[in-house]
Chain A
Amino acid sequence: MLRYTFFRLVQAAFVLLVMTFLLFMLIGMMPGDPVENMLEGNPALTPELARQMRELYGVGVPLPVRYWHWLTAAFQGDFGFSSLYFRPVLEILGPALLQTLKLMVATIMLSIPLSLLLGAIAALRPGGWMDTVISFFAFASISLPNFWLSLILIIVFAVQLGWLPASGTPLAETPSLGLQIYHSILPVTVLTMFFVGPLLRYVRASMIETMSSDYIRTARAKGLSETTVIVKHALRNALIPMVTVLALGFGMLFSGALVVETIFGILGMGKMIFDAIRYVDFNLALIGLLLATIVTLVSNLLADLAYAWLDPRITLK
């Protein structure tokens, strides 16, 4: 197990290195001139320093060479300045990451009980009317464009009814927790709507499988009540592999967060990356994308490790 963990860690580190290169190349191909952008983005640069940097990075120096300079600087902890915010990128991305994680955690906390409940109800009587309705809901969840759902919710709840704010960020300097939650209701609803479909399909399928297994038949034969059987045995059995499904859904949720943050004006990672690319902030886009990749890589790594830990077939080997 330790060997496996180590192996996967080394692998993830390698993947990350490759990703830095690929993303560097891609971002280098965005419109505009990255060196120009870098210079613009650092107010501390005197014209003299700027000239030196031009020499160092060199306009016209091929991308791979620039990559090398960037990489060596990055290894010394220098991730560059944002040309959009005139601050070091890490200073901007730290709070943004926190913001996005809050959004995602809230979504996951809502999605798990909801998908377990709906999945279990659907699995009780496969093919019954409840199952049909819930299955339709799951299909809708994976078919809804989340930017449109956001707009519709804003139109209905913010514009027409006036119940909820259309902005995801409170105006107050130090908003209370209650205010934060109030402003998060619509964005979290959209993300949950988007995330719960795949989860509940998974719960339903694994519940149906467990319910027909010997293990559940034994529990029934012992005379346990149907509720006990479902909640204590079938649901719990379905819960273990759900860890991996959740972790794998992390990347998907991150993608969804980008759209939702953009529409609701939440200063999270997604919006940062989006703005950085739109306004050609080379450093911010690069580090933002790398952070996003790290987050998904780590969640995938955890999923694999959790799977190896939890799945009896593998641990038995």
Chain B
Amino acid sequence: MNALVEVDNLNLHFPIDGGFFKEKLTLRALTDVSFSVEEDETLAIVGESGSGKTTLGYAISGLLTPTSGRIKFGAALGGHSQDRPVQLVFQDPFSALDPRMMVGDIVAEPLRLQGVSRAERLQQADDVLEQVGLPAESARRYPHEFSGGQRQRIAIARALIAKPKLIVADEPLSALDVSIQSQILNLLNKIKRDRTISYLFISHDLGVVHHLADRVVVLYLGRIMEIASRQDLFATPSHPYTQALLESVPRISRGRRKPGQALKGEIPTPLSPPPGCVFHTRCPRAQEVCRRQVPELLPAPGRPEQLSACHFKD
């Protein structure tokens, strides 16, 4: 396998202007995040709201500049950050499409920015629209004429037209009706079968992740708790946080599960994350050492491919 994108020790902080009444604060959205996305794989990012999933997706697509650390694009991506073949699919299919543009122009926009002639790019837009299951005459309509699921198809078409190697999909299903969700999921699978493409699939729905992902990254308060293949993660979760997450999803939780591990308490604020292991305020296994020492992301016992950041990992 070839690494498509390597994320190396990424930190991303937002300076928060506390107004005139308070000191300037720093919101640590991502701390020491390292992982890679391989060619032709679906890597899922899971975590609760505010854990930094969107921030991570934006950093990889170049919308946010890291505070420190590197995001390196592999040979397949030309290594050049200016024209990184990354595209985004967003959660909200309504604000994702410019209401003043015709669908054909929306889909063709990435080509327009590459300087492709209008006739040529509209031709390609028709083709891609068909690939995502919309009739070509959609091109001459405006977004408000389409339903949420149809709009998400349009957004996917726009992402596909530039032939990206990586699509960052930020909770692309969570704004849709359940029946539509499976259609979009099928579409994403079909696209994956037809071409060599990787997905960075951001979700907090472990059911969907179970269905789609090759590997999974678990984020908590901007830090990686665990990285593992789907099989390992769901069969033998190593990190107490992962275990707690799985606990809350009955239909896929199977195998060994200790009782009483469901998540309790509130997520601490990323303005002042807890010292030591960031999860210790909610961890059923927390010991004194957890409050002092940040656990490193290391292989779980006997499973070299499964990395987990816990002093007492399984």
Interface residues of chain A, those whose CB is within 8 Å of chain B, are: 1, 3-4, 7, 314, 317
Chain A residue with minimal CB distance to B18? A317
Inter-chain contacts of B18 with A (CB < 8 A): 317
**Chain A to chain B contacts (Cβ below 8 Å), 12 pairs:** A1-B21, A3-B20, A3-B21, A4-B20, A4-B21, A7-B20, A314-B19, A314-B21, A317-B18, A317-B19, A317-B21, A317-B22
Q: B residues 11-60 with Cβ under 8 Å of A?
A: 18-22
Q: Count A-B pairs with CB separation below 8 Å.
A: 12
A314 to B19, CA, bound (A): 9
Q: Which of B18, B20, B22 has the most CB of A within 10 A?
A: B20
Return A27 CB to nearest CB of chain B, in Å.
Answer: 35
Inter-chain contacts of A314 with B (CB < 8 A): 19, 21
A314 to B21, CA, bound (A): 9
Residues of B in contact with A, size category: under 10
Inter-chain contacts of B20 with A (CB < 8 A): 3-4, 7
Q: B residues 210-269 with Cβ under 8 Å of A?
A: none
Return B114 CB to nearest CB of chain A, in Å.
Answer: 46
Chain B residue with minimal CB distance to A1? B21
Q: Which of B18, B21, B22 has the most CB of A within 10 A?
A: B21
A7 to B21, CA, bound (A): 11
Return A21 CB to nearest CB of chain B, in Å.
Answer: 27
Inter-chain contacts of A3 with B (CB < 8 A): 20-21
A1 to B21, CA, bound (A): 6
Chain A binding surface SS class = helix
A1 to B19, CA, bound (A): 10
A3 to B18, CA, bound (A): 13
A4 to B21, CA, bound (A): 7
A7 to B20, CA, bound (A): 9
Cβ proximity bits B125-167 to A, threshold 8 Å, 1 near / 0 not: 0000000000000000000000000000000000000000000
Nearest 10 interchain pairs by C-beta: A4-B20, A317-B19, A317-B21, A3-B20, A7-B20, A317-B22, A4-B21, A1-B21, A317-B18, A314-B19
Chain A residue with minimal CB distance to B22? A317
Inter-chain contacts of A7 with B (CB < 8 A): 20
Return A308 CB to nearest CB of chain B, in Å.
Answer: 8
Chain B residue with minimal CB distance to A314? B19
Return B216 CB to nearest CB of chain A, in Å.
Answer: 39
A243 to B18, CA, bound (A): 25
Chain B residue with minimal CB distance to A5? B20
Return B273 CB to nearest CB of chain A, in Å.
Answer: 21
A85 to B18, CA, bound (A): 53
Chain B residue with minimal CB distance to A3? B20
Return A67 CB to nearest CB of chain B, in Å.
Answer: 33
Chain B residue with minimal CB distance to A316? B21
Inter-chain contacts of A1 with B (CB < 8 A): 21
A232 to B223, CA, bound (A): 53
Chain B residue with minimal CB distance to A308? B20
Chain B residue with minimal CB distance to A315? B21
A317 to B25, CA, bound (A): 13
Contacts A3-B20, A3-B21, A317-B18 given; 9 further ones with Cβ under 8 A? Answer: A1-B21, A4-B20, A4-B21, A7-B20, A314-B19, A314-B21, A317-B19, A317-B21, A317-B22
Cβ proximity bits B94-121 to A, threshold 8 Å, 1 near / 0 not: 0000000000000000000000000000
Inter-chain contacts of B21 with A (CB < 8 A): 1, 3-4, 314, 317
Chain A residue with minimal CB distance to B20? A4
Q: B residues 55-70 with Cβ under 8 Å of A?
A: none
Return A10 CB to nearest CB of chain B, in Å.
Answer: 12
A317 to B20, CA, bound (A): 10
A191 to B210, CA, bound (A): 72
Return A2 CB to nearest CB of chain B, in Å.
Answer: 10
A157 to B217, CA, bound (A): 83
A312 to B237, CA, bound (A): 47
A311 to B97, CA, bound (A): 37
Return B281 CB to nearest CB of chain A, in Å.
Answer: 25
A167 to B20, CA, bound (A): 49
A168 to B21, CA, bound (A): 47
Inter-chain contacts of B22 with A (CB < 8 A): 317
Return B300 CB to nearest CB of chain A, in Å.
Answer: 44
Chain A residue with minimal CB distance to B21? A317
Inter-chain contacts of B19 with A (CB < 8 A): 314, 317
A26 to B138, CA, bound (A): 59
A307 to B18, CA, bound (A): 17
A1 to B18, CA, bound (A): 13
Inter-chain contacts of A4 with B (CB < 8 A): 20-21
A317 to B21, CA, bound (A): 7
A3 to B22, CA, bound (A): 10
A1 to B22, CA, bound (A): 10
Return A303 CB to nearest CB of chain B, in Å.
Answer: 16
Return A152 CB to nearest CB of chain B, in Å.
Answer: 47
